[in-house]
């Protein structure tokens, strides 16, 4: 405050203004270094359970479900040969034998792109009524995958779910209802079930018709999703990433890890197990790669399991994925996993309040270490700080110019700047309508495959954006550029901060590209370099580059980049329409206008320098 | 010895004289009905006293519990219903209970028409009952009490031309029921828990159930058809539902011994009748069972409006010996999954929406009867869940249904709950959803309970219907007292009250460790803001023209300035300084700079 009100402070500001280039660069580097430091054991902290009511591992676990599971597995294998669909009657029959009420939930997906095909699916669930009055519930779910599925089989988890249900049914200590859910069509089935349970629609209306549920069990406190690929497992991976980068409460994650440890089940986070007593350097690298894998995963905003869809509804959920053990040697059996589930459920059953004690914003650096929001948010803070300082210094120099030419005519074309910004936003809005327009309403759209139509649509919009910018540059003079530059910097800074509130990883990774671009577009860097850097940050180009890089990392070549790009564009738009994901909202509605503003600046300076040379 | 004989004789005389004065009788009944994997046991202890409800009736009690009588007398209560329940009655699989009760505590009372201050009496009554039953009934006050106009009617005798009595109804959905409620409850029984059927109510065993409910029901009744004789009726009930999967470890075999941990003994000597009634209707289906001891049972077929049930009745007074005996049921096959026949009308309720922006309550009412049914839905919504009447939607599929009547009283913050009663007709064989939207209110920070994140309870709604068929119906008719009177008691209609789930709502809850952080932050902000604000308000501002300087020159200039300041400070030590006030200091600084 002193800086703004004390006239003597003006001089102090000058330091900031004169050296803003160095300061911004330093902040950028400091942010990157701070991020690396998070992997150090000096910065991150060991996890602990905040909620006392969980009392993990306090009860004696007595389930032994391996025999039952194997029997169910044998039957299921036979049943699955008859049909490709989820064997609803077989599962319901099993539930009835355990004297559990069971229900089938039907849902329909009206595919939002292209010709509007319809897909149908079914979920089956049974409810074990606890001793309470159905005010609270816990969910145990398993996805059903048929033999044609692209993903590894989950029949073991379906069988285990049934076996543990049988065991749970005979226990008298349940205070909450237990909902045993088997879903079809991966996340679609789960989303439909959750929407039906809560009587809402999260995506666009009319896309996913969730229908209604015949029975419910009150407010869901926690959910555990099982993806066991085999009866013999090497380790259990605890997956936490949710839709739009949401995470479950750290207490639940800790609980699962802790009970895994207690039951001597090997467990991992991000497929990386904890290695005890590593030398500091190796520990640092181990933590760094674990942390980075989580950041990369979270940035996509795509859930890495069915658990990720629960988070929106205020339900804490994780997935336990059992990876198949190859060959002989020590392995985890279904008995272990059954015990872990029992332990987790009994702890959650103890809960008096919903999960609220521990962190909702964190980054795991190991199975038992994490970085809390207080430590990681400075990364984004410094990035945004660089943008703000730059904006501030431009503002001050602009004011200096005013003071210099205090008597000369002082006509700013603020209207022009405003219109330019608005046009940039309109480009974003138009681009957002691309997937539906180009696959449905565009003439000849039906002759194209959806992927190609969407890719072409985005290419056309990108070119249109670039042309619009060429027109816009003619409107503004050098003074307006400064104003536009300030607006661009402030806008991008605000956007990054807002995104970091919900998805730190996305904001941080985006800022690595966006911040240099935003700093450079209005600076004295050679204009060719400036334009090149700016063009490289073009949303579509950036996405293509990221996909190419990941292709190169996974397959060693760039061959599949084109189809993968088209596919990812379609998938993100479908995610937005079905799940209400922000994976397309943020890049298109938020980033695209910002980039166009920056590109206007780039091209404007290019234009202005030409006449001088001539 | 002689003295003892004389004394006992005197006591006998006294007793018989009191008994002659007070015409009352006491009955014990136990009704057992096996369901699909569950067994419903219902105890009914009824006291009927031929007297009028006067201001001094309870000065002299015989079998009627005096402690309760005094409460009734003092608060001019005409009819009283209290129930304390754990668990939810699953209408879809269990049919209708004899006495419906919502989860938690439920209390409603009719006060005499001439009562002066009903609310004062209600408050005092709940307080007294709270003491009598060791329950938190004293938390009932204006904020959770309603007076439904349609759903509840006095079940006892009301003079046709007399003014209407006053009704107060409240639920405490969060109330937990346990042994501390059973102990005072059993003290109201004439034989306590020592003899008779009540001896079975051992707290070791009856809390092992899927549902249990204690009830006290007091009303005035007619003792003959023309109502020339009136009486008081007190019915104390215990409803228990045993889950065979838990109690019997999946064995379908069950017995009194297994449920209550002990056999049946001698009857209560004060009881006029003691009977055990077992519903053996399901024996006709595929999985046969044997009831033992078969010889003691007397089989009766009861037909009510065309629905016949077979009841096995055992008169406990026929058992004269002191030894304990058991009642067992053994099935021919090990497991049984008979097809479930749901009752005609039942309902379920849930919350829609997520987050804390908007929410909705949806009640689904099922009608499986082949005729349209008129039902009354009663909603008692707490004040912190403000609902909007305009958002009330009654739908059958996509079609809107127009309610026949709506009674609504909006709630007031911290004063009274939202009361909504809807009379509607449900088409034959259909499901109607009644939904209403609400906001999540912000509470004051002291209004949160210690476990704020548990959520807030919303009491159950109730659906009242007048069914033309007695399927799944067990209760005795309204004009009779004893359960045994329900045999062959056909009536035009059968009144059922279906209670729904209680709901938990997560209101916006502050982080209660936050106040400390907020205090720290606020203090810092105030401290930081104070200096500049003070400067702004006390100093004069001048706009200076800035001069651009290099960093090094700037530093040198600053150093010089500091040196000069030191000098002026030493000058100012002398009392007659130049008299420059603080206001001009910026100017001064500027002058210094210019001079440089």
Q: Flag whether B415 is in a domain.
A: no
Report CA dihedral (B569, B571, B577, B583) to the nearest 10 degrees: -20
Report chain B residues whose CB lies below 8 A from the CB of A8: 586, 589
- Interface check for A132 against chain B (CB to CB < 8 A): the answer is yes
Write the residue in B86, B354, B453 that is nearest to A356 by C-beta.
B453
DSSP, collapsed to helix, strand or coil, labels residue B107 as strand
Of residues B245, B532, B546, nearest to A170 (C-beta) = B245
Q: Is the pLDDT of residue A320 over 50?
A: yes
pLDDT tens digit string along A129-182?
988 888 999 999 999 998 888 889 899 999 999 999 999 998 889 999 999 999
Quickly state the pLDDT bin for A20 (edges 50, 70, 90). Answer: confident
Q: Do A219 and B93 touch (CB under 8 A)?
A: no
What is the number of other CB atoms lying within 10 angstroms of the CB of residue B260?
21
Q: Which residues are CB-contacts of A193 (< 8 A; sequence separation ≥ 6)? A: A105, A107, A123, A125, A181, A183, A210, A213
Name every chain B residue with its beta carbon within 8 A of the beta carbon of A167. none
Residue of B354, B548, B551 with shortest CB distance to A312: B354
Which chain B positions have a beta carbon within 8 Å of A354's beta carbon? 453-455, 506
**pLDDT higher for B338 or B132?**
B132
pLDDT of res. B164: 84
Is A348 within 8 Å of A56 (Cβ atoms)?
no
pLDDT at A550 over 50: yes
Question: Closest chain B residue to A95 measured between Cα atoms?
Answer: B337
d(CA B346, CA A135): 18
* Cβ pair B39, B99 in contact under 8 A: no
pLDDT at A39: 92
Cis bond before residue B293 (omega within 30° of 0): yes
Rounded to whole angstroms, the Cα distance separating A58 from A87 reads 37
Q: Please give, rounded to a whole number of angstroms, the shortest distance from the CA of B222 to a CA of chain A.
A: 37
Over residues B296-323, the pLDDT tens digits come to 888 898 888 888 888 999 988 887 777 8
In a mutational test of the A interface, the residue from B176, B546, B560 whose CB has the highest number of chain A CBs within 10 Å is B546
Rounded Cα gap, residues B255 and B257, in angstroms: 5
> For chain B, what is the mean pLDDT?
84
> Residue A97: its chain B contacts at CB < 8 A?
335, 337
**pLDDT tens figures, B223-282:** 888 888 889 999 999 999 998 888 876 567 888 888 888 888 888 888 899 999 998 887
> Longest C-alpha distance within chain B, in Å?
129
Which residues of chain A does B337 touch, with a Cβ-Cβ cutoff of 8 Å?
A: 96-97, 99
Residue A169 burial (10 A CB sphere; 0-12, 13-18, 19+): buried
Q: Yes or no: say if B159 and B417 are a contact pair by the CB < 8 Å rule.
A: no
In a domain, B565, yes or no: no
Structure tokens given for B573: 């030590």
Q: Please give the Cα distance from B85 to B238 (Å, whole number).
A: 10
Domain annotation covers residue B509? no
Q: Are strands A272-273 and A267-269 parallel, antiparallel or unpaired?
A: antiparallel
B79 pLDDT band, cuts 50/70/90, is very high
Which pLDDT band holds residue A506 (cuts at 50, 70, 90)? Answer: very high
Min Cα distance B152 → chain A (Å) is: 23
Q: Tell me the residue length of chain A.
A: 614
| A597-609 pLDDT, tens digit each | 998 888 877 665 5
Name residues whose C-beta falls within 8 Å of residue A251's C-beta, 6 or more positions apart in sequence: A49, A50, A51, A54, A316, A355, A357, A358
The residues near A146 (Cβ < 8 Å, ≥ 6 apart) are: A80, A84, A85, A86
> What is the ipTM score, two decimals?
0.87
For the stretch A438-458, pLDDT in tens is 877 776 666 778 888 888 888
Helix (H, G, I), strand (E, B) or coil at A344: helix
Cβ neighbours of residue A495 closer than 8 Å, sequence gap 6 or more: A590, A591, A594
Q: In whole angstroms, give the CA distance from residue B265 to residue B323.
A: 7
pLDDT on residue B194: 78
Residue A407, pLDDT score: 45
B402 compared with B289, residue with greater pLDDT: B402
Please report the pLDDT score of residue B593 as a whole number.
Answer: 41
Instruction: State the Cα–Cα distance between residues B586 and B325, nearest whole angstrom.
Output: 104
Structure tokens at A361: 């914003």
Distance from C-alpha of B275 to C-alpha of B259, rounded to nearest angstrom: 18
Question: Which chain A residues contact residue B249 at CB under 8 A?
Answer: 170
pLDDT at B535: 79
pLDDT digits (tens, 9 = 90+) for B417-475: 999 999 999 999 999 999 999 998 888 888 888 888 898 999 999 999 998 888 888 88
Residue B207 has a pLDDT of 85
Contact A199 B360 (CB under 8 A): yes
Nearest-neighbour CA in chain A from B590: distance (Å): 9
Question: What's the pLDDT at A17?
Answer: 78
- How many contacts (CB atoms, under 8 Å) link A and B? 122
Interface contact A9, partner B, CB < 8 A: no
Nearest C-alpha in B relative to A8:
B586
| The predicted structure's pLDDT at residue B583 | 40
Residue to mutate among A135, A196, A393, with most B CBs inside 10 A, is: A135
Over residues A390-412, the mean pLDDT reads 67
Q: Which of B452, B454, B458 to mutate to test the interface with A (most CBs of A within 10 A)?
A: B454
Mapping DSSP to helix (H, G, I), strand (E, B) and coil, where does residue B3 land? helix
Environment class of A263 (CB within 10 Å of its CB; exposed 0-12, middle 13-18, buried 19+): buried
SS3 label, residue A445: helix
Phi (first) and psi of residue B364, to 5 degrees: -100, 125
Query: 3-state DSSP call for residue B298?
Result: strand
Q: Which residues contact A161 (CB under 8 A, 6 or more apart)?
A: A140, A141, A142, A180, A182, A226
Distance from C-alpha of A252 to C-alpha of A246, rounded to nearest angstrom: 14
Q: Which domain holds residue B137?
A: 22-338
Residue B440 lies in a domain: no
The tokens of B523 are what?
């203090």
Contact B586 A218 (CB under 8 A): no
pLDDT of A2: 44
Among the listed residues A503, A500, A529, A499, the one whose alpha carbon sits nearest the alpha carbon of residue A516: A529
The residue among A483 and A158 whose pLDDT is bigger is A158
What average pLDDT does range B550-577 have in this prediction? 66
Contact B86 A14 (CB under 8 A): no
* Residue for token pair 């006030």: B581
What does the block give as tokens for A467? Answer: 């042309």
A8 and B586: CB-CB below 8 Å? yes
Nearest CB partner across the interface for B451, out of A10, A18, A353: A353
DSSP letter string, A565-590: HHHHHHHHHHHHHHH--STTIIIIII
- Residue A250 has a pLDDT of 94
Are A332 and A339 in contact, with CB atoms under 8 Å apart?
no
Q: Name, of A322-331, A408-417, B140-149, B328-337, the range with top average pLDDT.
A: B140-149
Contacts of A99 in chain B (CB under 8 A): 36-37, 244-245, 250, 337
Contact flag B353-A134 (C-beta cutoff 8 Å): no
CA distance A218 to chain B (A): 7
| Cβ-based contacts of B208 with chain A (< 8 Å) | 172
Q: Is B245 within 8 Å of A99 when comparing Cβ atoms?
A: yes
CB-based contact A356 B545, cutoff 8 Å = no
List the single residue in A1, A96, A134 with the smallest CB-CB distance to B88. A134
Contact B245 A129 (CB under 8 A): no
**Chain B residue with Cα closest to A352:** B454
Nearest by CB: A96 against B337, B453, B589: B337
Q: How far is CA B284 from CA A447, B31, B150, B181, B513, in A?
A: 66, 19, 40, 39, 63
Closest B-chain CA to A215: B348
Contact A200 B352 (CB under 8 A): yes
**Beta strand extents in A438-554 (DSSP E only):** none
Least confident of A152-166, A335-349, A563-577: A563-577
Record the pTM: 0.87
Q: How far apart are CA B72 and CA B111, in angstroms?
A: 9
- Percent of chain B past pLDDT 90, that is, above it, reads 38
Which chain A positions have a beta carbon within 8 Å of B454's beta carbon? 352-354
A-chain residues within 8 Å CB-CB of B365? none
Question: Which neighbouring-strand residues pair with B359?
Answer: B438
Mean pLDDT for chain A overall: 87
Using CB atoms within 10 Å of the CB of residue B356, give its burial: 0 to 12 exposed, 13 to 18 middle, 19+ buried. Answer: middle
Q: Tell me, yes or no, whether B297 lies in a domain.
A: yes
Q: B28 falls in which pLDDT band (50, 70, 90)?
A: very high
- The band of B20, judged by pLDDT with boundaries at 50, 70 and 90, is low
- The encoded tokens of residue B218 equal 């007091």
Q: Which residues pair with B504 in a beta bridge?
A: B457
Return the minimum-mean-pLDDT range out of A17-21, A250-254, A256-260: A17-21
Contact present, A196 and A114 (Cβ < 8 Å): no
> Any idea which residue has 């790669």 for tokens?
A289
Contacts of A497 (CB under 8 A, 6+ apart): A380, A384, A507
CA distance A101 to chain B (A): 9
Q: Are B149 and B168 in contact (CB under 8 A)?
A: no
User: For B115-135, how does the pLDDT look when each residue is reduced to its tens digit (9 = 90+)?
Assistant: 889 999 999 999 999 999 999
- CA–CA min distance A125, chain B (Å): 17
- The domains found in chain A, sorted by start residue, are 52-367 (3.40.630.10), 408-613 (no CATH)
Q: Which helix (H) or strand (E) holds A221?
A: strand A219-228
Do residue A199 and residue B353 have CB atoms under 8 angstroms apart?
Answer: yes
Per-residue pLDDT of A188-205, as tens digits, reads: 999 999 999 999 998 888
Domain membership of residue B527 (yes or no) is no
Asked if residue B535 belongs to a domain, the reply is no
Per-residue tokens: B143: 């904020």
Number of domains in chain B: 1
Q: Which two tokens stand for residue B214?
A: 């204690």
DSSP for B537-579? HHS-----------HHHHHHHHHHHHHHHHHHHHHHTSSS---
* Coil, strand or helix at A358: coil
CB A503 within 8 A of CB A299: yes
Residue A105 has pLDDT above 70, yes or no: yes
Which residues of chain A neighbour B509 with C-beta distances below 8 Å?
356
Nearest to A15 by CA among B594, B549, B590: B549
With respect to residue B353, please indicate whether it lies within any of the assigned structural domains. no
**Can you read off the two tokens belonging to residue B50?**
């031929």
What is the side-by-side strand order in the sheet with B462-467?
A: B405-409, B418-426, B373-381, B462-467, B494-499
Which residues in chain A are closer than 8 Å to B36, comparing Cβ atoms?
Answer: 99
């Amino acid at each position: 405050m002193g800086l703004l009100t004390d006239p003597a402070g003006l001089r102090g500001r000058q330091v900031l203004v004169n050296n803003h280039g160095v300061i911004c660069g330093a902040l950028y580097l400091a942010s990157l270094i701070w991020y690396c430091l998070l992997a150090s054991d000096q910065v991150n902290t060991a996890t602990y359970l905040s909620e006392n009511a969980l009392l993990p591992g306090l009860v004696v676990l007595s389930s032994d479900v391996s025999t039952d599971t194997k029997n169910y597995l044998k039957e299921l294998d036979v049943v699955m040969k008859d049909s490709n669909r989820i064997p609803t009657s077989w599962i319901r029959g099993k539930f009835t034998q355990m004297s559990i009420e069971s229900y089938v939930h039907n849902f329909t997906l009206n595919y939002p792109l292209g010709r509007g095909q319809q897909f149908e699916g079914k979920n089956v669930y049974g409810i074990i009524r606890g001793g309470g009055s159905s005010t609270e519930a816990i969910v145990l779910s398993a996805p059903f995958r048929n033999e044609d599925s692209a993903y590894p089989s989950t029949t073991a988890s379906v069988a285990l779910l049934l076996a543990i249900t049988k065991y749970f049914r005979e226990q008298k200590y349940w205070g909450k209802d237990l909902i045993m859910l088997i879903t079809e069509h991966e996340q679609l089935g789960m989303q439909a079930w959750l929407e039906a349970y809560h009587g809402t629609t999260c995506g666009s209306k009319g896309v996913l018709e969730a229908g209604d549920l015949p029975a419910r069990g009150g407010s869901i406190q926690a959910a555990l999703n099982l993806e066991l690929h085999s009866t013999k497992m090497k380790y259990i991976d605890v997956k936490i990433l949710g839709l739009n980068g949401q995470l479950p409460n750290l207490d639940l994650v800790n609980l699962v890890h802790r009970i895994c440890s207690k039951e001597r089940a090997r467990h991992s986070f991000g497929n990386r197990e904890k290695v005890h007593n590593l030398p500091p350097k190796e520990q640092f690298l181990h933590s760094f790669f674990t942390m980075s894998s989580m950041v990369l995963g979270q940035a996509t905003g795509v859930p890495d399991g069915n658990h990720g869809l629960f988070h929106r509804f205020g339900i804490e959920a994780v997935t336990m994925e059992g990876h198949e053990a190859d060959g002989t040697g020590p392995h985890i059996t279904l008995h272990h996993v059954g015990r872990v589930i029992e332990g987790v459920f009994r702890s959650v059953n103890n809960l008096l309040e919903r999960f609220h004690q521990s962190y909702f914003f964190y980054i795991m650096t190991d199975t038992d270490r994490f970085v809390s929001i207080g430590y990681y948010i400075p990364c984004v803070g410094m990035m945004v700080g660089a943008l703000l300082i730059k904006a501030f210094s431009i503002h001050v120099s602009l004011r200096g110019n005013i003071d210099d030419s205090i008597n000369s005519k002082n006509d700013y074309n603020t209207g022009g700047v405003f219109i330019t910004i608005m046009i940039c936003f309109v480009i974003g809005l138009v681009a957002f309508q691309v997937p539906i327009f180009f696959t449905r309403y565009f003439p000849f759209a039906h002759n194209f495959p959806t992927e190609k139509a969407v890719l072409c649509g985005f290419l056309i919009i990108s070119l249109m954006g670039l042309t619009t910018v060429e027109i816009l540059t003619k409107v503004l003079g050098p003074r307006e550029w400064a104003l536009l530059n300030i607006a661009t910097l402030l806008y991008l800074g605000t956007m990054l901060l807002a995104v970091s509130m919900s998805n730190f990883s996305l904001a941080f990774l985006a800022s690595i590209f966006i911040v240099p671009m935003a700093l450079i577009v209005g600076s004295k860097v050679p204009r060719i370099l400036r334009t090149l850097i700016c063009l490289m940050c073009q949303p579509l180009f950036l996405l293509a580059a990221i996909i190419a890089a990941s292709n190169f990392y996974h397959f060693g070549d760039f061959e599949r980049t084109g189809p993968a790009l088209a596919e990812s564009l379609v998938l993100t738009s479908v995610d937005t329409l079905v799940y209400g994901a922000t994976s397309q909202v943020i890049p298109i509605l938020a980033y695209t206008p910002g980039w166009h503003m920056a590109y206007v600046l780039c091209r404007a300076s290019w234009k202005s320098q030409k006449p001088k040379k001539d | 010895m002689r003295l003892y004989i004389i004394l006992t004789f005197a006591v006998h005389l006294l007793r018989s004289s009191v008994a002659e004065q007070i015409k009352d009788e006491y009955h014990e009944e136990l009704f057992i009905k096996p369901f699909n994997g569950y067994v419903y046991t219902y105890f009914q202890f009824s006291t009927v006293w031929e007297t009028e409800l006067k201001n001094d009736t309870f000065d002299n009690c015989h079998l009627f519990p005096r402690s309760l009588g005094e409460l009734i007398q003092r608060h001019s209560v005409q009819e009283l219903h209290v129930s304390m329940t754990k668990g939810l009655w699953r209408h879809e699989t269990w049919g209708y209970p004899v006495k419906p009760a919502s989860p938690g505590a439920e209390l409603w009372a009719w006060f005499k028409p001439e009562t002066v201050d009903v609310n004062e009496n209600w408050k005092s009554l709940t307080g007294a009952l709270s003491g009598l039953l060791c329950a938190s009934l004293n938390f009932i006050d204006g904020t959770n009490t309603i007076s439904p106009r349609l759903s509840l009617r006095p079940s006892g005798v009301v003079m046709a031309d007399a003014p209407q009595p006053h009704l107060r109804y409240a639920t405490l959905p969060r109330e937990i029921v346990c042994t501390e409620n059973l102990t005072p409850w059993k003290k109201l029984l004439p034989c306590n828990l020592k003899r008779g059927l009540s001896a079975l109510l051992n707290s070791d065993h009856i809390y092992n159930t899927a549902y249990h409910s204690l009830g006290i029901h007091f009303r005035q009744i007619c003792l003959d058809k023309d109502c020339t004789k009136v009486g008081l009726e007190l019915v104390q009930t215990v409803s228990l539902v045993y889950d065979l999967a838990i109690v019997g470890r999946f064995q379908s075999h069950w017995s009194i011994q297994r449920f209550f941990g002990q056999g049946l003994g001698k009857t209560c000597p004060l009881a006029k009748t003691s009977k055990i009634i077992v519903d053996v209707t399901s024996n006709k289906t595929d999985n046969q069972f044997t009831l033992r001891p078969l010889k003691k049972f007397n089989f009766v077929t009861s037909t009510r409006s065309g629905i016949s049930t077979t009841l096995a009745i055992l008169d406990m007074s026929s058992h004269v010996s002191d030894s304990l005996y058991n009642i067992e049921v053994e099935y021919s096959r090990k497991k049984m999954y008979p097809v479930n026949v749901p009752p005609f009308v039942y309902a379920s309720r849930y919350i829609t929406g997520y987050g804390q922006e908007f929410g909705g309550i949806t009640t689904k009412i099922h009608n499986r009867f082949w005729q349209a049914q008129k039902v009354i839905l009663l909603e008692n919504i707490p004040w912190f869940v403000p609902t909007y009447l305009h958002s009330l939607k009654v739908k059958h599929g996509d079609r809107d249904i127009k309610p026949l009547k709506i009674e609504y009283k909006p709630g007031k913050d911290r004063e009274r709950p939202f009361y909504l009663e809807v009379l509607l007709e449900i088409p034959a064989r259909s499901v109607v959803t009644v939904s209403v939207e609400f906001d999540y209110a912000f509470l004051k920070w002291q209004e949160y309970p210690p476990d704020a994140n548990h959520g807030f309870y919303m009491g159950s709604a109730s659906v009242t219907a007048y069914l033309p068929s007695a399927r799944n119906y067990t209760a005795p008719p309204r004009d009779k007292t004893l359960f045994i009177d329900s045999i062959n008691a056909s009536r035009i209609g059968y009144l059922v009250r279906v209670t729904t789930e209680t709901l938990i709502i997560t209101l916006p809850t502050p982080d209660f460790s936050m106040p400390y952080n907020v205090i720290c932050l606020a203090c810092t902000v105030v401290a930081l803001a104070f200096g500049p604000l003070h400067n702004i308000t006390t100093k004069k501002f001048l706009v200076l023209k800035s001069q651009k300087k290099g960093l090094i020159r700037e530093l040198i200039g600053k150093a010089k300035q500091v040196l000069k300041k030191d000098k002026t400070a030493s000058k100012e030590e002398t009392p007659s300084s130049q008299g420059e006030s603080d206001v001009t200091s910026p100017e001064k600084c500027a002058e210094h700079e210019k001079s440089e």
